[in-house]
Structure 1
Amino acid sequence: MSMLSHHIELNGQPYHYLGAGKSGAPVLLFLHGFPEYSGAWADLAPRFSHEYHCIAPDQRGYGQSWAPAEVAEYHVTKLVGDLCALLDHLGAEQATVVGHDWGAAVAYALAFMAPDRVRQLVILNGVHPFPFQRAMAAGGAQTDASQYIHTLKRDGAEDWLAANDFEKLQQLFAAKMDQSWLSGDRLEAYKTEWARPGRLRGMVNWYRASPLKLGGPGERIKDIPEIPLDRVRIKMPHLLIWGPDDRALLPEATEGLEELCDNLTRVEIPGTDHWIIHQNPDAVERIMKDWLSL
Protein backbone atom coordinates (compact mmCIF):
# COMPACT_ATOMS: atom_id res chain seq x y z
CA MET A 1 0.00 0.00 0.00
CA SER A 2 1.33 3.44 -0.91
CA MET A 3 0.97 6.47 1.33
CA LEU A 4 -1.31 9.34 0.37
CA SER A 5 -0.26 12.99 0.51
CA HIS A 6 -2.22 15.37 2.77
CA HIS A 7 -1.91 19.17 2.89
CA ILE A 8 -3.43 20.81 5.98
CA GLU A 9 -2.99 23.87 8.17
CA LEU A 10 -1.69 23.69 11.73
CA ASN A 11 -2.03 26.86 13.75
CA GLY A 12 -2.56 28.79 10.52
CA GLN A 13 0.57 27.44 8.79
CA PRO A 14 0.92 24.90 5.95
CA TYR A 15 1.74 21.37 7.02
CA HIS A 16 2.15 18.18 5.02
CA TYR A 17 2.02 14.53 5.91
CA LEU A 18 1.82 11.12 4.27
CA GLY A 19 -0.84 8.75 5.50
CA ALA A 20 -1.79 5.09 5.09
CA GLY A 21 -4.39 2.96 6.78
CA LYS A 22 -7.91 3.53 8.01
CA SER A 23 -8.96 6.77 9.66
CA GLY A 24 -10.15 6.03 13.17
CA ALA A 25 -7.65 3.22 13.72
CA PRO A 26 -4.95 3.73 16.40
CA VAL A 27 -2.39 6.25 15.17
CA LEU A 28 1.20 5.21 14.50
CA LEU A 29 3.15 8.47 14.14
CA PHE A 30 6.48 8.26 12.28
CA LEU A 31 8.95 11.13 12.82
CA HIS A 32 11.91 11.56 10.46
CA GLY A 33 15.27 13.11 11.28
CA PHE A 34 17.95 15.13 9.50
CA PRO A 35 18.28 15.42 6.55
CA GLU A 36 15.25 13.32 5.62
CA TYR A 37 11.54 14.03 5.14
CA SER A 38 8.23 12.20 5.34
CA GLY A 39 9.18 9.96 2.41
CA ALA A 40 11.83 8.31 4.58
CA TRP A 41 9.04 6.14 5.98
CA ALA A 42 7.39 5.27 2.65
CA ASP A 43 8.69 1.69 2.73
CA LEU A 44 8.23 0.90 6.42
CA ALA A 45 5.07 2.70 7.52
CA PRO A 46 2.58 1.05 5.10
CA ARG A 47 3.53 -2.37 6.52
CA PHE A 48 1.52 -1.40 9.62
CA SER A 49 -1.47 0.08 7.81
CA HIS A 50 -3.77 -2.94 8.32
CA GLU A 51 -3.91 -2.24 12.06
CA TYR A 52 -2.92 1.42 12.37
CA HIS A 53 -3.56 4.81 10.84
CA CYS A 54 0.06 5.46 9.83
CA ILE A 55 1.09 9.12 9.70
CA ALA A 56 4.48 10.43 8.54
CA PRO A 57 4.69 14.24 8.59
CA ASP A 58 7.20 16.59 7.06
CA GLN A 59 8.28 18.17 10.30
CA ARG A 60 8.59 21.95 10.56
CA GLY A 61 11.38 23.17 8.26
CA TYR A 62 11.27 20.11 6.03
CA GLY A 63 9.62 19.05 2.79
CA GLN A 64 6.26 20.64 2.10
CA SER A 65 5.58 21.85 5.64
CA TRP A 66 6.09 25.36 6.98
CA ALA A 67 9.76 26.42 7.10
CA PRO A 68 10.16 29.66 9.06
CA ALA A 69 13.55 31.37 8.77
CA GLU A 70 13.85 32.35 12.45
CA VAL A 71 15.88 30.06 14.71
CA ALA A 72 13.50 30.66 17.63
CA GLU A 73 10.72 28.96 15.67
CA TYR A 74 12.51 25.63 16.12
CA HIS A 75 12.50 25.54 19.90
CA VAL A 76 11.49 22.09 21.09
CA THR A 77 8.26 23.40 22.59
CA LYS A 78 7.16 24.53 19.13
CA LEU A 79 8.12 21.21 17.53
CA VAL A 80 6.17 19.31 20.19
CA GLY A 81 3.29 21.76 19.71
CA ASP A 82 3.13 20.83 16.03
CA LEU A 83 2.73 17.16 16.92
CA CYS A 84 0.01 17.83 19.48
CA ALA A 85 -1.82 19.97 16.92
CA LEU A 86 -1.45 17.22 14.32
CA LEU A 87 -2.93 14.64 16.70
CA ASP A 88 -5.81 17.04 17.40
CA HIS A 89 -6.37 17.40 13.65
CA LEU A 90 -6.49 13.62 13.32
CA GLY A 91 -8.93 13.36 16.22
CA ALA A 92 -6.46 11.18 18.13
CA GLU A 93 -5.98 11.52 21.86
CA GLN A 94 -2.88 9.33 21.74
CA ALA A 95 -0.43 7.78 19.30
CA THR A 96 2.29 5.21 19.29
CA VAL A 97 5.25 7.39 18.30
CA VAL A 98 8.17 6.16 16.19
CA GLY A 99 11.21 8.42 15.91
CA HIS A 100 14.58 8.32 14.18
CA ASP A 101 17.50 10.72 14.62
CA TRP A 102 16.06 14.23 15.30
CA GLY A 103 12.62 12.68 15.06
CA ALA A 104 13.62 10.58 18.06
CA ALA A 105 14.59 13.70 20.00
CA VAL A 106 11.16 15.23 19.39
CA ALA A 107 9.47 11.91 20.18
CA TYR A 108 11.26 11.82 23.53
CA ALA A 109 10.29 15.43 24.20
CA LEU A 110 6.66 14.68 23.38
CA ALA A 111 6.81 11.67 25.72
CA PHE A 112 7.92 13.67 28.74
CA MET A 113 6.26 17.02 27.93
CA ALA A 114 2.87 15.60 26.92
CA PRO A 115 2.91 11.99 28.17
CA ASP A 116 -0.86 11.69 27.87
CA ARG A 117 -0.47 11.90 24.06
CA VAL A 118 2.01 8.98 23.78
CA ARG A 119 0.74 5.43 24.21
CA GLN A 120 4.02 3.69 23.34
CA LEU A 121 7.42 4.96 22.20
CA VAL A 122 9.65 3.37 19.54
CA ILE A 123 13.09 4.85 18.87
CA LEU A 124 15.43 3.84 16.05
CA ASN A 125 19.00 5.12 16.38
CA GLY A 126 17.99 8.20 18.28
CA VAL A 127 18.89 9.48 21.72
CA HIS A 128 17.20 10.84 24.81
CA PRO A 129 18.63 14.33 25.42
CA PHE A 130 19.83 13.61 28.98
CA PRO A 131 22.30 10.75 28.32
CA PHE A 132 23.23 12.32 24.97
CA GLN A 133 24.20 15.60 26.61
CA ARG A 134 26.16 13.71 29.24
CA ALA A 135 28.07 11.80 26.54
CA MET A 136 28.73 14.91 24.42
CA ALA A 137 30.06 16.78 27.46
CA ALA A 138 32.41 13.99 28.53
CA GLY A 139 35.16 14.87 26.07
CA GLY A 140 35.32 11.31 24.74
CA ALA A 141 34.32 9.47 21.59
CA GLN A 142 30.80 10.95 21.38
CA THR A 143 32.22 14.46 21.75
CA ASP A 144 34.47 13.83 18.77
CA ALA A 145 31.73 12.12 16.75
CA SER A 146 29.43 15.13 17.25
CA GLN A 147 31.82 17.79 15.94
CA TYR A 148 29.81 18.11 12.73
CA ILE A 149 27.16 19.91 14.80
CA HIS A 150 29.46 22.96 15.04
CA THR A 151 29.61 23.04 11.24
CA LEU A 152 25.84 22.87 10.86
CA LYS A 153 25.32 25.71 13.33
CA ARG A 154 27.58 28.14 11.47
CA ASP A 155 26.16 31.07 9.51
CA GLY A 156 25.77 30.07 5.90
CA ALA A 157 25.80 26.34 6.60
CA GLU A 158 22.74 25.89 4.41
CA ASP A 159 24.56 27.34 1.38
CA TRP A 160 27.59 25.14 2.06
CA LEU A 161 25.37 22.05 2.16
CA ALA A 162 23.61 22.99 -1.08
CA ALA A 163 26.74 23.71 -3.13
CA ASN A 164 27.77 21.38 -5.98
CA ASP A 165 24.42 19.60 -6.13
CA PHE A 166 24.25 19.00 -2.35
CA GLU A 167 27.70 17.41 -2.27
CA LYS A 168 28.41 18.15 1.42
CA LEU A 169 24.94 17.12 2.48
CA GLN A 170 25.39 13.74 0.81
CA GLN A 171 28.77 13.34 2.50
CA LEU A 172 27.11 13.94 5.88
CA PHE A 173 24.64 11.19 5.03
CA ALA A 174 27.51 8.76 4.48
CA ALA A 175 29.88 9.68 7.35
CA LYS A 176 31.70 6.31 7.11
CA MET A 177 28.37 4.45 7.00
CA ASP A 178 26.43 2.52 4.35
CA GLN A 179 24.81 4.96 1.93
CA SER A 180 24.08 2.45 -0.83
CA TRP A 181 20.33 2.76 -0.24
CA LEU A 182 20.38 6.44 -1.28
CA SER A 183 20.70 6.43 -5.05
CA GLY A 184 18.75 6.72 -8.29
CA ASP A 185 15.15 7.92 -8.03
CA ARG A 186 15.29 7.96 -4.22
CA LEU A 187 18.26 10.34 -4.23
CA GLU A 188 16.53 12.58 -6.76
CA ALA A 189 13.43 12.68 -4.55
CA TYR A 190 15.57 13.78 -1.61
CA LYS A 191 17.21 16.50 -3.70
CA THR A 192 13.77 17.78 -4.69
CA GLU A 193 12.88 18.22 -1.02
CA TRP A 194 16.22 19.80 -0.11
CA ALA A 195 15.86 22.28 -2.98
CA ARG A 196 12.54 23.73 -1.79
CA PRO A 197 13.03 27.40 -0.85
CA GLY A 198 14.14 27.89 2.74
CA ARG A 199 14.19 24.20 3.61
CA LEU A 200 17.91 23.75 4.17
CA ARG A 201 17.87 26.76 6.51
CA GLY A 202 14.91 25.27 8.36
CA MET A 203 16.70 21.93 8.65
CA VAL A 204 19.90 23.36 10.16
CA ASN A 205 17.86 25.67 12.41
CA TRP A 206 16.98 22.56 14.43
CA TYR A 207 20.66 22.40 15.40
CA ARG A 208 20.93 26.15 15.99
CA ALA A 209 17.92 26.11 18.31
CA SER A 210 19.13 23.16 20.37
CA PRO A 211 20.16 24.00 23.96
CA LEU A 212 22.57 21.04 24.14
CA LYS A 213 26.22 21.98 24.72
CA LEU A 214 29.20 20.66 22.80
CA GLY A 215 32.86 21.62 23.18
CA GLY A 216 35.75 21.10 20.80
CA PRO A 217 37.41 17.75 20.09
CA GLY A 218 38.28 16.05 23.37
CA GLU A 219 36.91 18.97 25.40
CA ARG A 220 35.09 18.18 28.63
CA ILE A 221 32.23 20.48 29.66
CA LYS A 222 31.47 20.72 33.36
CA ASP A 223 28.73 23.38 33.54
CA ILE A 224 25.88 21.24 32.24
CA PRO A 225 22.51 22.48 33.55
CA GLU A 226 20.97 20.26 36.18
CA ILE A 227 17.66 18.74 35.04
CA PRO A 228 15.36 16.98 37.53
CA LEU A 229 15.16 13.42 36.23
CA ASP A 230 11.44 13.18 36.91
CA ARG A 231 10.90 15.88 34.25
CA VAL A 232 12.51 13.78 31.52
CA ARG A 233 11.27 10.36 32.58
CA ILE A 234 9.70 8.02 30.00
CA LYS A 235 6.74 6.40 31.70
CA MET A 236 5.12 4.56 28.80
CA PRO A 237 6.45 1.29 27.26
CA HIS A 238 9.57 2.10 25.25
CA LEU A 239 11.34 0.10 22.51
CA LEU A 240 14.85 1.09 21.39
CA ILE A 241 16.00 -0.51 18.13
CA TRP A 242 19.70 0.06 17.48
CA GLY A 243 22.05 -0.24 14.52
CA PRO A 244 25.38 -0.96 16.23
CA ASP A 245 27.55 0.34 13.38
CA ASP A 246 26.31 3.93 13.85
CA ARG A 247 29.23 6.38 13.67
CA ALA A 248 27.22 9.50 14.56
CA LEU A 249 25.46 8.21 17.67
CA LEU A 250 27.65 5.91 19.73
CA PRO A 251 26.53 3.37 22.36
CA GLU A 252 27.63 5.72 25.16
CA ALA A 253 24.94 8.17 24.03
CA THR A 254 22.32 5.78 25.45
CA GLU A 255 24.15 4.72 28.61
CA GLY A 256 21.91 5.05 31.66
CA LEU A 257 18.72 5.20 29.61
CA GLU A 258 17.21 2.47 31.80
CA GLU A 259 17.36 4.90 34.75
CA LEU A 260 15.01 7.23 32.86
CA CYS A 261 12.47 4.63 31.72
CA ASP A 262 9.80 2.65 33.53
CA ASN A 263 9.69 -0.06 30.85
CA LEU A 264 12.52 -0.20 28.30
CA THR A 265 13.26 -2.93 25.73
CA ARG A 266 16.50 -2.79 23.73
CA VAL A 267 17.07 -4.72 20.48
CA GLU A 268 20.08 -4.55 18.14
CA ILE A 269 20.07 -5.37 14.43
CA PRO A 270 23.58 -6.52 13.45
CA GLY A 271 24.98 -5.12 10.22
CA THR A 272 23.05 -1.84 10.38
CA ASP A 273 24.07 1.68 11.29
CA HIS A 274 22.38 5.07 11.66
CA TRP A 275 20.26 4.46 8.54
CA ILE A 276 18.73 1.32 10.00
CA ILE A 277 15.21 1.90 8.64
CA HIS A 278 16.52 1.76 5.07
CA GLN A 279 19.11 -0.98 5.51
CA ASN A 280 16.93 -3.66 7.07
CA PRO A 281 13.25 -2.65 7.11
CA ASP A 282 12.21 -6.32 7.30
CA ALA A 283 13.96 -6.76 10.66
CA VAL A 284 12.62 -3.43 11.93
CA GLU A 285 9.09 -4.46 10.94
CA ARG A 286 9.39 -7.83 12.65
CA ILE A 287 10.80 -6.40 15.89
CA MET A 288 8.21 -3.63 16.04
CA LYS A 289 5.27 -5.93 15.33
CA ASP A 290 6.41 -8.47 17.94
CA TRP A 291 6.78 -5.74 20.55
CA LEU A 292 3.56 -3.93 19.70
CA SER A 293 1.62 -7.18 20.05
CA LEU A 294 2.79 -7.76 23.63
Structure 2
Amino acid sequence: MYQVLTPSRSSTLALRHLNYHVRHWGPEHSDLPTLVLLHGWMDVSASYQFTVDALRQPRRIIAPDWRGFGLTTGAPVDHYVFADYLADLDLLLDHYAPGEAIDLVGHSMGGNVAMMYGGVRPERVRKLVNLEGFGLPATRPAQAPTRYAQWIDEIKQLHQGTKELKTYDSADGVARRLMKTNPRLSEDKAQWLAQHWARPNTQGQWEILGDPAHKITSAQLYRADEALAIYERITAPVLAIEASGDSLGQWWNGRYTLDEYHQRLTHVRTCSTAVVQDAGHMLHHDQPEQVAQLIEAFLDAA
Protein backbone atom coordinates (compact mmCIF):
# COMPACT_ATOMS: atom_id res chain seq x y z
CA MET A 1 0.00 0.00 0.00
CA TYR A 2 1.08 3.59 -0.58
CA GLN A 3 3.41 4.92 2.13
CA VAL A 4 2.43 8.39 3.35
CA LEU A 5 5.32 10.85 3.73
CA THR A 6 3.41 13.71 5.42
CA PRO A 7 0.68 12.35 7.71
CA SER A 8 -2.50 14.39 8.10
CA ARG A 9 -4.33 15.42 11.26
CA SER A 10 -8.08 15.84 11.62
CA SER A 11 -10.36 18.37 13.27
CA THR A 12 -14.13 18.77 13.32
CA LEU A 13 -15.94 22.10 13.30
CA ALA A 14 -19.63 22.63 14.09
CA LEU A 15 -20.78 24.75 11.17
CA ARG A 16 -24.23 25.41 9.67
CA HIS A 17 -25.84 22.42 11.43
CA LEU A 18 -23.03 20.16 10.20
CA ASN A 19 -19.97 18.59 11.78
CA TYR A 20 -17.36 19.61 9.23
CA HIS A 21 -14.33 17.36 8.97
CA VAL A 22 -11.12 19.16 8.04
CA ARG A 23 -7.79 17.54 7.26
CA HIS A 24 -4.53 19.31 8.18
CA TRP A 25 -0.97 18.85 6.94
CA GLY A 26 2.26 20.59 7.80
CA PRO A 27 2.99 22.97 10.67
CA GLU A 28 0.15 24.58 12.61
CA HIS A 29 1.77 27.97 12.00
CA SER A 30 3.80 29.09 8.99
CA ASP A 31 5.22 32.27 7.51
CA LEU A 32 3.71 31.16 4.19
CA PRO A 33 0.03 31.80 3.41
CA THR A 34 -2.29 28.98 4.42
CA LEU A 35 -2.90 26.61 1.52
CA VAL A 36 -6.52 25.42 1.24
CA LEU A 37 -7.31 22.36 -0.90
CA LEU A 38 -10.85 21.74 -2.18
CA HIS A 39 -11.76 18.27 -3.44
CA GLY A 40 -14.16 17.41 -6.25
CA TRP A 41 -17.51 15.67 -6.60
CA MET A 42 -17.69 12.16 -5.12
CA ASP A 43 -14.21 12.61 -3.68
CA VAL A 44 -12.70 13.35 -0.26
CA SER A 45 -10.03 15.60 1.22
CA ALA A 46 -7.59 12.67 1.56
CA SER A 47 -7.45 12.65 -2.25
CA TYR A 48 -4.74 15.33 -2.04
CA GLN A 49 -2.35 13.16 0.00
CA PHE A 50 -0.13 12.26 -2.97
CA THR A 51 0.21 15.91 -4.01
CA VAL A 52 0.94 17.03 -0.46
CA ASP A 53 3.66 14.38 -0.22
CA ALA A 54 5.24 15.77 -3.40
CA LEU A 55 5.46 19.37 -2.12
CA ARG A 56 9.01 20.39 -1.27
CA GLN A 57 8.40 23.29 1.10
CA PRO A 58 6.58 22.74 4.39
CA ARG A 59 3.50 24.92 4.69
CA ARG A 60 0.24 24.98 6.62
CA ILE A 61 -2.38 23.08 4.59
CA ILE A 62 -6.06 22.49 5.31
CA ALA A 63 -8.63 20.55 3.28
CA PRO A 64 -12.32 20.11 4.19
CA ASP A 65 -14.57 17.21 3.33
CA TRP A 66 -17.46 18.99 1.63
CA ARG A 67 -20.96 18.55 3.05
CA GLY A 68 -22.25 15.10 2.18
CA PHE A 69 -18.76 13.71 1.51
CA GLY A 70 -16.03 12.00 3.51
CA LEU A 71 -16.27 12.35 7.28
CA THR A 72 -18.41 15.50 7.34
CA THR A 73 -21.79 14.63 8.87
CA GLY A 74 -25.16 16.27 9.41
CA ALA A 75 -28.89 15.79 9.14
CA PRO A 76 -30.07 13.90 6.04
CA VAL A 77 -31.01 15.97 2.98
CA ASP A 78 -32.39 15.04 -0.42
CA HIS A 79 -30.50 17.53 -2.61
CA TYR A 80 -27.54 19.91 -2.54
CA VAL A 81 -27.20 23.53 -3.68
CA PHE A 82 -23.92 24.81 -5.11
CA ALA A 83 -24.08 28.15 -3.26
CA ASP A 84 -23.80 26.28 0.04
CA TYR A 85 -20.20 25.36 -0.76
CA LEU A 86 -19.33 29.06 -0.98
CA ALA A 87 -20.91 29.81 2.40
CA ASP A 88 -19.30 26.73 3.97
CA LEU A 89 -15.87 27.76 2.69
CA ASP A 90 -16.27 31.32 3.92
CA LEU A 91 -17.14 30.16 7.43
CA LEU A 92 -14.36 27.57 7.43
CA LEU A 93 -11.85 30.30 6.55
CA ASP A 94 -13.26 32.60 9.23
CA HIS A 95 -12.39 29.89 11.73
CA TYR A 96 -9.13 28.45 10.40
CA ALA A 97 -7.58 31.49 8.66
CA PRO A 98 -9.31 34.61 10.04
CA GLY A 99 -8.36 37.81 8.26
CA GLU A 100 -5.86 36.02 6.01
CA ALA A 101 -5.65 36.03 2.23
CA ILE A 102 -5.14 32.32 1.57
CA ASP A 103 -3.78 30.32 -1.36
CA LEU A 104 -6.65 28.30 -2.82
CA VAL A 105 -6.48 25.09 -4.88
CA GLY A 106 -9.56 23.28 -6.14
CA HIS A 107 -10.05 20.16 -8.27
CA SER A 108 -13.06 19.64 -10.55
CA MET A 109 -16.14 20.70 -8.56
CA GLY A 110 -13.72 22.13 -5.99
CA GLY A 111 -12.07 24.10 -8.79
CA ASN A 112 -15.45 25.55 -9.71
CA VAL A 113 -16.03 26.49 -6.07
CA ALA A 114 -12.57 28.09 -5.92
CA MET A 115 -13.20 30.19 -9.04
CA MET A 116 -16.61 31.36 -7.81
CA TYR A 117 -15.30 32.10 -4.31
CA GLY A 118 -12.37 34.03 -5.79
CA GLY A 119 -14.83 36.42 -7.43
CA VAL A 120 -17.34 36.60 -4.58
CA ARG A 121 -14.70 37.14 -1.87
CA PRO A 122 -11.68 38.43 -3.83
CA GLU A 123 -10.01 39.87 -0.73
CA ARG A 124 -9.78 36.40 0.85
CA VAL A 125 -7.68 34.81 -1.92
CA ARG A 126 -4.02 35.62 -2.59
CA LYS A 127 -3.46 33.09 -5.40
CA LEU A 128 -5.76 30.53 -6.98
CA VAL A 129 -5.06 27.22 -8.72
CA ASN A 130 -7.87 25.58 -10.68
CA LEU A 131 -7.36 21.87 -11.44
CA GLU A 132 -9.84 21.01 -14.19
CA GLY A 133 -12.68 23.07 -12.73
CA PHE A 134 -14.20 23.73 -16.13
CA GLY A 135 -17.67 24.87 -15.20
CA LEU A 136 -20.55 23.49 -17.26
CA PRO A 137 -22.01 24.00 -20.73
CA ALA A 138 -23.97 27.21 -21.16
CA THR A 139 -27.74 26.86 -20.84
CA ARG A 140 -30.79 28.75 -22.15
CA PRO A 141 -33.78 29.98 -20.10
CA ALA A 142 -36.05 27.77 -22.21
CA GLN A 143 -34.43 24.72 -20.58
CA ALA A 144 -35.74 25.70 -17.12
CA PRO A 145 -39.14 23.94 -17.19
CA THR A 146 -37.61 20.62 -18.21
CA ARG A 147 -34.83 21.00 -15.65
CA TYR A 148 -37.26 21.61 -12.78
CA ALA A 149 -39.31 18.59 -13.84
CA GLN A 150 -36.17 16.45 -13.98
CA TRP A 151 -35.19 17.63 -10.49
CA ILE A 152 -38.61 16.70 -9.09
CA ASP A 153 -38.51 13.28 -10.74
CA GLU A 154 -35.03 12.55 -9.37
CA ILE A 155 -36.06 13.62 -5.87
CA LYS A 156 -38.86 11.05 -6.09
CA GLN A 157 -36.41 8.38 -7.29
CA LEU A 158 -34.09 9.10 -4.37
CA HIS A 159 -36.90 8.62 -1.85
CA GLN A 160 -37.92 5.43 -3.62
CA GLY A 161 -34.40 4.10 -3.08
CA THR A 162 -33.44 3.93 -6.76
CA LYS A 163 -30.40 6.23 -6.50
CA GLU A 164 -28.38 4.34 -3.91
CA LEU A 165 -24.63 4.07 -4.41
CA LYS A 166 -23.10 0.67 -5.09
CA THR A 167 -21.51 -1.15 -2.15
CA TYR A 168 -18.47 -3.44 -2.23
CA ASP A 169 -17.54 -6.65 -0.42
CA SER A 170 -14.13 -5.32 0.65
CA ALA A 171 -11.73 -2.41 0.48
CA ASP A 172 -10.02 -4.27 -2.34
CA GLY A 173 -13.29 -4.12 -4.28
CA VAL A 174 -13.35 -0.36 -3.80
CA ALA A 175 -9.75 -0.13 -4.99
CA ARG A 176 -10.58 -2.17 -8.10
CA ARG A 177 -13.46 0.22 -8.83
CA LEU A 178 -11.11 3.20 -8.53
CA MET A 179 -8.62 1.62 -10.91
CA LYS A 180 -11.37 0.76 -13.39
CA THR A 181 -12.56 4.35 -13.37
CA ASN A 182 -8.99 5.65 -13.68
CA PRO A 183 -6.68 3.18 -15.48
CA ARG A 184 -3.66 5.37 -14.67
CA LEU A 185 -4.13 4.90 -10.91
CA SER A 186 -1.52 2.55 -9.46
CA GLU A 187 -2.65 -0.28 -7.20
CA ASP A 188 -0.79 0.98 -4.14
CA LYS A 189 -2.51 4.37 -4.38
CA ALA A 190 -5.88 2.77 -5.09
CA GLN A 191 -5.61 0.54 -2.02
CA TRP A 192 -4.73 3.55 0.12
CA LEU A 193 -7.52 5.73 -1.32
CA ALA A 194 -10.07 2.97 -0.80
CA GLN A 195 -9.55 3.21 2.97
CA HIS A 196 -10.50 6.91 2.87
CA TRP A 197 -13.03 6.88 0.04
CA ALA A 198 -15.26 4.22 1.66
CA ARG A 199 -15.87 2.42 4.96
CA PRO A 200 -17.66 -0.77 6.06
CA ASN A 201 -21.29 -0.56 7.18
CA THR A 202 -22.94 -2.67 9.88
CA GLN A 203 -23.40 -5.50 7.37
CA GLY A 204 -19.70 -5.46 6.49
CA GLN A 205 -20.25 -3.97 3.04
CA TRP A 206 -17.99 -1.08 2.05
CA GLU A 207 -19.98 2.08 1.35
CA ILE A 208 -18.72 5.09 -0.59
CA LEU A 209 -18.41 8.16 1.66
CA GLY A 210 -20.70 10.20 -0.55
CA ASP A 211 -24.39 11.00 -0.07
CA PRO A 212 -26.57 9.55 -2.89
CA ALA A 213 -28.42 12.89 -2.87
CA HIS A 214 -25.40 14.34 -4.68
CA LYS A 215 -26.62 12.44 -7.75
CA ILE A 216 -29.69 14.68 -7.96
CA THR A 217 -29.42 17.08 -10.90
CA SER A 218 -29.39 20.72 -9.82
CA ALA A 219 -32.74 22.47 -10.15
CA GLN A 220 -30.87 25.59 -11.22
CA LEU A 221 -29.51 26.02 -14.73
CA TYR A 222 -25.80 26.80 -15.06
CA ARG A 223 -25.66 30.45 -16.10
CA ALA A 224 -22.42 31.02 -17.97
CA ASP A 225 -23.04 34.79 -18.02
CA GLU A 226 -23.24 34.82 -14.21
CA ALA A 227 -20.06 32.73 -13.94
CA LEU A 228 -18.18 35.12 -16.23
CA ALA A 229 -19.34 38.14 -14.23
CA ILE A 230 -17.87 36.46 -11.16
CA TYR A 231 -14.65 35.55 -13.00
CA GLU A 232 -14.20 39.24 -13.84
CA ARG A 233 -14.14 40.08 -10.13
CA ILE A 234 -11.29 37.70 -9.31
CA THR A 235 -8.27 39.79 -8.30
CA ALA A 236 -5.92 36.93 -7.40
CA PRO A 237 -3.59 35.57 -10.07
CA VAL A 238 -5.03 32.30 -11.38
CA LEU A 239 -3.25 29.21 -12.69
CA ALA A 240 -5.61 26.92 -14.62
CA ILE A 241 -4.12 23.43 -14.84
CA GLU A 242 -5.60 20.79 -17.12
CA ALA A 243 -4.67 17.22 -17.98
CA SER A 244 -3.32 16.13 -21.35
CA GLY A 245 -6.31 13.81 -21.65
CA ASP A 246 -9.24 15.94 -22.83
CA SER A 247 -11.83 15.41 -20.09
CA LEU A 248 -14.25 17.92 -21.59
CA GLY A 249 -14.18 16.18 -24.94
CA GLN A 250 -14.96 12.85 -23.27
CA TRP A 251 -17.79 14.24 -21.13
CA TRP A 252 -19.63 16.61 -23.44
CA ASN A 253 -18.90 15.28 -26.94
CA GLY A 254 -18.62 18.72 -28.52
CA ARG A 255 -21.34 20.47 -26.48
CA TYR A 256 -18.64 22.19 -24.42
CA THR A 257 -15.00 22.27 -25.49
CA LEU A 258 -11.59 23.23 -24.19
CA ASP A 259 -11.58 26.17 -26.60
CA GLU A 260 -14.78 27.48 -25.00
CA TYR A 261 -13.30 26.96 -21.52
CA HIS A 262 -10.15 28.85 -22.51
CA GLN A 263 -12.32 31.66 -23.86
CA ARG A 264 -14.06 31.90 -20.49
CA LEU A 265 -10.68 32.19 -18.77
CA THR A 266 -9.98 35.40 -20.73
CA HIS A 267 -12.47 37.06 -18.37
CA VAL A 268 -10.04 36.52 -15.47
CA ARG A 269 -7.72 39.51 -15.05
CA THR A 270 -4.51 37.54 -14.51
CA CYS A 271 -4.65 33.94 -15.69
CA SER A 272 -2.07 31.49 -16.98
CA THR A 273 -2.54 27.88 -18.02
CA ALA A 274 -0.52 24.68 -17.78
CA VAL A 275 -0.95 21.09 -18.95
CA VAL A 276 -0.02 17.98 -16.96
CA GLN A 277 1.22 15.30 -19.32
CA ASP A 278 0.09 11.65 -19.26
CA ALA A 279 -2.84 12.45 -16.98
CA GLY A 280 -6.61 12.31 -17.00
CA HIS A 281 -9.17 14.20 -14.95
CA MET A 282 -7.73 12.86 -11.66
CA LEU A 283 -4.41 14.50 -12.50
CA HIS A 284 -3.46 14.88 -8.84
CA HIS A 285 -3.56 11.07 -8.61
CA ASP A 286 -1.97 10.39 -11.98
CA GLN A 287 0.94 12.84 -11.77
CA PRO A 288 1.13 14.31 -8.25
CA GLU A 289 4.76 15.34 -8.71
CA GLN A 290 3.94 17.41 -11.80
CA VAL A 291 0.91 18.94 -10.09
CA ALA A 292 2.86 19.76 -6.92
CA GLN A 293 5.69 21.34 -8.91
CA LEU A 294 3.29 23.55 -10.85
CA ILE A 295 1.41 24.61 -7.72
CA GLU A 296 4.55 25.37 -5.75
CA ALA A 297 6.23 27.33 -8.53
CA PHE A 298 3.08 29.42 -9.00
CA LEU A 299 2.53 30.09 -5.30
CA ASP A 300 6.16 30.98 -4.67
CA ALA A 301 6.58 33.28 -7.71
CA ALA A 302 6.86 36.98 -6.98
Fold in common (TM above 0.5): yes
Which of these residues, 133, 151, 163, is aligned with residue 137 of structure 2? Answer: 133
Please give the per-residue CA displacement for 1:195-217, whole angstroms capped at 9, x wherever unaligned: 6698322433xx5336235xxxx
Matched, 1:18 2:35: no
Aligned: 1:64 with 2:71: yes
Shifted more, 194-203 versus 95-104: the winner is 194-203
Q: TM-score, normalised to structure 2's length?
A: 0.73
Q: What's the counterpart of residue 227 of structure 1?
A: 226
Q: Secondary structure at the match of 1:60?
A: coil
Match of 1:244 in 2: 244
Amino acid corresponding to residue 133 of structure 1 in structure 2: P
Matched, 1:106 2:113: yes
- TM-score, length of structure 1 as denominator length: 0.75
TM-superposed deviation, 1:175: 5.3
* Structure 2 match to 1:201: 212
CA drift at 1:287: 1.1
Alignment of 1:56-205 (within 5 A): 56-71=63-78, 74-92=80-98, 93-127=100-134, 129=135, 132-134=136-138, 155=158, 156=161, 158-159=163-164, 161-163=165-167, 174=180, 178-180=184-186, 183-192=190-199, 199-204=210-215
Residue type of the alignment partner of 2:229: D
Q: Does 1:277 align with 2:296?
A: no
**CA RMSD of the aligned region, Å?**
3.5
Which residue is equivalent to 1:256?
263
- Distance in 1, Cα, partners of 2:227 & 2:211: 34
User: What is the CA–CA distance in structure 1 between the aligned matches of 2:35 and 2:200, rounded to whole Å?
Assistant: 23
How big is each residue's C-alpha offset from its partner over 1:123-173, in whole Å with a ceiling of 9 and x where there is no partner? 11221x3xx323x78xxxxxxxxxxx9x998645641x3256598998698
How many residues end up aligned between the 2 structures? Answer: 264
Aligned to 2:148: none
Residue 244 of structure 1 deviates from its aligned partner by 2.0
Structure 2 Cα separation of the partners of residues 238 and 199 of structure 1: 29
Q: Work out whether 1:286 is the aligned partner of 2:293.
A: yes
Correspondence for 2:146: none
Identity across aligned pairs (percent)? Answer: 21
Which sections of structure 1, spanning at least 5 residues, go unmatched? 138-148, 214-223
Q: Secondary structure at the match of 2:230?
A: helix
